[in-house]
Amino acid sequence: MNLNVGYMLLRNAHEQPDKLAVIFGNKRYTYKVFNERVNRLSNALLGKGVGKGDKVAYLLNNCSEFAEISFALSKIGALSVPLNFRLKEEEIGYIIENSDSSFLFFGPEFKENIAKLLPRCRKVKKAVQVGGISEYQDLLQASSPQEPSVLVTEDDEHSIMYTSGTTGFPKGAVHSHKSRIWNSLNMLVDTGLRGTDIFAITTPLFHIAAGHTMLLSTIFSGGKVVILAGFSLPEFFEKIQEEKITAFFAVPTVFVRILEHPRRKDYDLASLRLLFTGGAVTSVELKEKLMQAFPLATLDDLMGLTEGGPLTTFLPHRDAFRKPDSVGRAHFSQMVRVVNEKGEDVKGEEVGEIIVKGPAVMKEYYKNPEATAKALRDGWLYTGDLARVDEEGYQYLTVRRTDLIISGGENVYPAEVEKVLLLHPAVQEAAVIGIKDKEWGERVMAVVVLREGERPTAENLLSFCQDKLAGYKRPRSIAFIDELPKNQLGKILYKELRNRFEKGDAGKR
């Protein structure tokens, strides 16, 4: 027997066929029915000439078909290439071409985009619309529900997950079936997620955190997945109450929205037992408010990157207040170090780069041996994230290497300055960037989102920072904007801010 992603679904279809597996809108599939739909699609793709090693791209909003396609490709050894619908047309076209995708699924809302892209995506032999009365349904109805007879091993490639592209064109991280299984085990072993849980997927499935970690982990455990088309309040509260949801993941900014919503207490949210966050360090203040609002739930911090699994480090709820601002220690199957430029483990207040080794780490960057050689050295993945480590081995993320500010030869870590700015009662969000400067190399600039109704001046905030930060760390200018640019997981896009403000857009001062 070969252990692969498809087997994990088959196992639950065999052991608990009548248990609900996937819910999306008014669609409710048991493990038996969902597995049969997956098999029908698998066999249909084989009939269309899609086989082991072929790449299949899909441009979809969150839907149950997204999960079906992912598992169907797993069962025939084809590689999933989920597309970020928030990318520009040029970037989507680049990924389709770069991945050598020969088959494409798309939602009806992307029909015009695909029509423009297909002439330049010459390797795509077939494009199928998903949703409504479409060829997708015809493919399923005309195909066998039996298990496809394709030998897929744990070492076979499973997917190409493209990075967010914040430092240039996206790179495709190739993951195997083995890495997907181990990433799920990291989630299950460390967090206590189990088969009785009902997990709501609130973030885009094209992202590795939702599509691989949350979806696969829940299905592997035999739990129930509730896929949300999008996130909105109070509709999400209604869904928790209706489905008795026990677990979900959200970035800190979304948890703030949940806590501040005026109708939250109108709903019965007592079913919640596992809350997960990541994408940014969650403040102690926010954690305290969450624990007060949801006294029956725990909050675990998950941190990582596409290339790492994504799960690399984990801060359990029991350490939330003992290790404030930490991203935790290595996940179950991972080994994590923080090293200096000589490859030596850092000590004390020294800052180094996080490197990761383990079975959940990517195999390579697709068709990019130069980037692969730079990222994977001696079996370790060099993440580009900078951190320090305390005496117990807990890590404290400082900054992405590309976002480090060097002013007058001194290192300035944006998170340290942002933490001070967020202490000001008028500041809702803050991002600190380095702007090119002839005298200092870079000067520190803060970009701030104010709380509603607040109107402090830049001078007020600069004065606030004066006694709390060393001179070289203090912002030299402050811009006020309505919203910080972020990626699909809520991470601030520092590069986009640097490009904007270096071009002279000073914002409101």
- The token pair at 218 is 């829940």
What pLDDT score was predicted for residue 466? Answer: 87
**DSSP H/E element including 94:** helix 89-98
* Cβ-based neighbours of 287, under 8 Å, separated by 6 or more: 299, 320, 321
Residues in the chain: 509
Distance CA 117, CA 301 (A): 39
Cα separations in angstroms, 410 against 345, 421, 435, 442, 443: 22, 20, 14, 10, 11
Give the angle subtended at the CA of 32 by the CAs of 29 and 33, to the nearest 5°.
45
| Radius of gyration for the alpha carbons in the chain, expressed in angstroms and rounded | 23
Strands 198-201 and 224-227, by their bridges, are parallel
Q: At what angle do helices 31-47 and 64-76 cross, to 10 degrees?
A: 60
Architecture of the CATH domain 1-334: 3-Layer(aba) Sandwich (3.40)
**479: which strand partners?**
447
What pLDDT score was predicted for residue 288? Answer: 94
Selecting from 3.40.50.720, 1.10.10.10, 3.40.190.10, 3.30.300.30, what CATH number does the domain 404-502 have? 3.30.300.30
* Cβ-based neighbours of 504, under 8 Å, separated by 6 or more: none
The answer to whether 382 and 312 are in contact (CB under 8 A) is: no
**330: which strand partners?**
313
Cα separations in angstroms, 448 against 38, 484, 485: 47, 8, 12
The answer to whether 208 and 249 are in contact (CB under 8 A) is: no
Distance CA 42, CA 49 (A): 11
Between the two ends of the chain, the Cα-to-Cα distance in Å is 65
What pLDDT score was predicted for residue 82? Answer: 97
Q: At what angle do helices 5-15 and 31-47 cross, to 10 degrees?
A: 140
**DSSP state letter for 390:** -
> For residue 398, which amino acid is it?
T
Where do the domains of the chain lie?
A: 1-334, 404-502
- The token pair at 156 is 């076979």
pTM score: 0.84
What does the pLDDT profile of the chain (509 residues) look like in tens digits? 678 999 999 999 999 999 999 999 999 999 999 999 999 999 999 999 999 999 999 999 999 999 999 999 999 999 999 998 877 788 899 999 999 999 999 999 999 999 999 999 999 999 999 987 778 999 999 999 999 999 999 999 999 999 864 445 789 999 999 999 999 999 999 999 999 999 999 999 999 999 999 999 999 999 999 999 999 999 999 999 999 999 999 988 889 899 999 999 999 999 999 999 987 778 888 999 999 999 999 999 999 889 999 999 999 999 999 998 899 999 999 999 999 989 999 988 898 999 999 999 999 999 999 999 999 999 999 998 889 999 999 999 887 767 878 787 677 878 888 989 999 999 999 999 998 877 677 899 999 999 989 999 999 999 999 888 878 889 999 999 999 998 766 778 888 898 899 876 544 44
The answer to whether 267 and 245 are in contact (CB under 8 A) is: no
Distance CA 228, CA 390 (A): 39
**DSSP state letter for 212:** I
* Cβ-based neighbours of 126, under 8 Å, separated by 6 or more: 48, 102, 103, 104
What pLDDT score was predicted for residue 505? Answer: 53
Sign of CA dihedral 109, 110, 113, 116: negative
Nearest to 107 by CA among 159, 68, 62, 71: 62
What pLDDT score was predicted for residue 168? Answer: 56
The DSSP-derived string for 157-204 is EEEEEE---TTSS--EEEEEHHHHHHHHHHHHHHH---TT-EEEE-S-
- The token pair at 138 is 């015809």
Reply yes or no: is the peptide bond before residue 170 cis, omega within 30 of 0.
no
**DSSP H/E element including 39:** helix 31-47
The label of the residue with tokens 């025939």 reads 76
What pLDDT score was predicted for residue 401? Answer: 67
Q: Coil, helix or strand for 29?
A: strand
What pLDDT score was predicted for residue 167? Answer: 46
What pLDDT score was predicted for residue 409? Answer: 65
What pLDDT score was predicted for residue 509? Answer: 40
**DSSP H/E element including 370:** helix 369-375
Sequence-ordered alpha helix ranges (H) in 392-479:
414-421, 458-466
What pLDDT score was predicted for residue 164? Answer: 60
- The token pair at 174 is 């190739």
